[in-house]
Amino acid sequence: MASLSLANAAATRRAGKPAVALSARRSVAAQPRVASHAGVAAGRGSLQVFAVRSRSNTGGSRKGLMQYVERVNAPQMKDDLIPFRVGMTVRVGVTVVEGNKTRVQPYEGIIIGVHKAGVATTITVRKAFQGYGVERIFPIHSPLCTFEEVRGAGKPVRRAKLYYLRDRIGKQAKLKTRFVAKKTGPTRHQLKMEALAATKAAAAAEAEAAAAAAAAAEAAAAPAEEEAAAEPEA
């Protein structure tokens, strides 16, 4: 408290005002704010003032925080995924690293649940192996997992989850097979991938054209700079 009073007296003396003894609370309140808000901690025989960092650019709003999280997670999300539906059969390729070698471990089963959580979205795939049910959870946006639909293997159901398959054995655990006529032409997923590839190619071409234009401008400006630098020497 004595140190704060001395500091206050020195400040008022520099400002040309008579020194006035202030109490601890008034001297703390008279000090300029360093950050957006400050706190006071009382110890044994002393009074300490600590500054707290200002809030982030989100302004403390939940909406702004969610938008910031979406912007950060957007580059990590895949844009070439198949449309996952509960009841469809998928073939998953998991990249396994063993020492200096990598191999792809196949896994095929029925999707019994889709858990949507943005970049952390996962699917639960179940299959029967030697009479025992095996389930695995795969993050769909992981770079170590690839997904491929097994067409005609299972019929999508109008259910959010297929957890009842855990209590079924043998043929009862199988879904009805969907027999459809083979369609000619590309599928909707293939059309989507073609449009995405065309968009990426156009963006790459624009970037190359901009880089070429910048290089040409630099090459055209280089002789003028050399002439301007050579004039004072002459």
Q: What is the 3-state secondary structure (H, E, C) of 144-210?
A: CEEEEECCCCCCCCCCCECHHHHHCCHHHHCCCCCCCCCCCCCCHHHHHHHHHHHHHHHHHHHHHHH
Query: In angstroms, rounded to a whole number, what is the distance separating the alpha carbons of residues 73 and 120?
Result: 9
Q: CATH 2.30.30.790 occupies which residues in the chain?
A: 80-189
Q: Tell me which CATH code domain 80-189 carries.
A: 2.30.30.790
Give pLDDT, residue 130: 85
Query: In angstroms, rounded to a whole number, what is the distance separating the alpha carbons of residues 156 and 88?
Result: 5
Q: What is the model's pTM?
A: 0.53
Q: Mean pLDDT by 10-residue block, N- to C-terminus, for the chain (234 residues)?
A: 52 52 52 49 55 54 80 86 88 93 93 91 92 92 91 73 86 68 65 81 88 86 74 57
Q: Is 173 exposed, middle or buried (0-12, 13-18, 19+ CB in 10 A)?
A: middle
Give pLDDT, residue 7: 54
Give pLDDT, residue 234: 47
Query: In angstroms, rounded to a whole number, what is the distance separating the alpha carbons of residues 127 and 72?
Result: 35
Query: In angstroms, rounded to a whole number, what is the distance separating the alpha carbons of residues 3 and 133?
Result: 73
Give pLDDT, residue 105: 94
Give pLDDT, residue 123: 95
Give pLDDT, residue 35: 44
DSSP 8-class letter at 31? S
Query: In angstroms, rounded to a whole number, what is the distance separating the alpha carbons of residues 81 and 59?
Result: 35
Classify 130 in phi/psi space as left (phi over 0), alpha (psi -120 to 50) or beta.
left
Give pLDDT, residue 6: 52
Within a 13 Å sphere around the CA of 218, how many CA atoms are in the beta-carbon half? 6
Give pLDDT, residue 44: 56
Residue 129: phi, psi to the nearest 5?
A: -130, 110
